[in-house]
Amino acid sequence: EAAVTQSPRNKVAVTGGKVTLSCNQTNNHNNMYWYRQDTGHGLRLIHYSYGAGSTEKGDIPDGYKASRPSQENFSLILELATPSQTSVYFCASGDAWGTGDYAEQFFGPGTRLTVL
């Protein structure tokens, strides 16, 4: 089964500080995703990537940057954290059509971020 890990698992940050959330997957999936999950909003896509060196904006990219330095790693960067970015962040990986479990996404355990 696909293995996706995230670090840190919990983070407390100060308003205006920089936060980097990291994600690693070991299944050689081309696509990786960053979501945030909030009560009343469900899972919302922030950024995604089709492979090393690529990043794409999702549905709510404002205030976030992403970096995909390698097939395995995908980071989410909050340059100037704000209290509204307090949330649970999930990373996921998957592949597109014709590559097995196409379209299925495998999620990491999540990072709980609190911005004070």
Partner 1 sequence: QQKVQQSPESLIVPEGAMTSLNCTFSDSASQYFAWYRQHSGKAPKALMSIFSNGEKEEGRFTIHLNKASLHFSLHIRDSQPSDSALYLCAESNSAGNKLTFGIGTRVLVRP
CB of 52 to partner 1, least distance (A): 16
Is the bond preceding residue 8 a cis peptide, omega within 30 degrees?
yes
**Could you tell me which residues come within 8 angstroms of residue 45 by beta carbon, excluding any fewer than 6 positions away?**
33, 34, 35, 58, 59, 60
**Minimum distance from residue 100 beta carbon to partner 1 (Å):** 12
Question: CA 31 to CA 85: how far, in whole Å?
Answer: 24
Residue keyed to tokens 């089964």: 1
Q: Which of 3, 63, 79, 102: binder of partner 1 (CB under 8 A)?
A: 102
17 or 58, CB closer to partner 1? Answer: 58
Query: Which of 90, 115, 94, 89 lies closest to 106 in space, CA to CA?
Result: 94
| String of contacts with partner 1 for each residue 3-32, x by CB under 8 A | ----------------------------x-
What does the binding site for partner 1 look like in residue numbers (CB under 8 A)? 31, 40-45, 48, 50, 58-59, 90, 94, 96-97, 102-110
